[in-house]
Amino acid sequence: MDPLIFVKILMIQYLEGFRSVRFTCKQIQQHATYRWFLSISATEKVSCHSSVSKFLRHRVDPGVWEALFGHVLQWIQEDGFLSPDTWAADETE
């Protein structure tokens, strides 16, 4: 599988605040927006959580990963897609 997909999966996990890779992969299976972001069709199988974990543990140097991840987050923030502000909505009637 393309390493870029693994990076995008980990970005989804971080940006959405998901606590585990297993939960992230389940969410990707269920939501079309995540599949679109990953360029995975509705009929394609989503990578299993163990593949993502192995990619992170065995294929990428931790220092390189942290630097890359930091740069990507900085670019996203500079483009206005990431904000440190906390928003809450109360939908009670």
Is residue 67 in some structural domain? yes
Is residue 29 in some structural domain? yes
Q: 31 lies in which domain range?
A: 3-78
Is residue 90 in some structural domain? no
Asked if pLDDT for residue 92 goes beyond 80, the answer is no
Is residue 64 in some structural domain? yes
pLDDT in tens, 2-46: 888 888 898 898 888 898 999 999 999 999 999 999 998 888 888
Is residue 57 in some structural domain? yes
End-to-end CA distance of the chain: 47
Is residue 89 in some structural domain? no
Total domains in the chain come to 1
Is residue 83 in some structural domain? no
pTM metric for this prediction:
0.69
What does the pLDDT read at residue 34?
Answer: 93
Provide DSSP, 42-84: TTSPPPPHHHHHHIIIIIS-HHHHHHHHHHHHHHHHHTTS--S
Q: Can you read off the two tokens belonging to residue 36? A: 């679109």
Is residue 92 in some structural domain? no
What does the pLDDT read at residue 36?
Answer: 93
What does the pLDDT read at residue 25?
Answer: 92
- Better-predicted residue by pLDDT, 34 or 87: 34
pLDDT in tens, 46-68: 888 888 888 877 777 778 878 88
What residues contact 22, with CB distance under 8 A and at least 6 apart?
Answer: 49
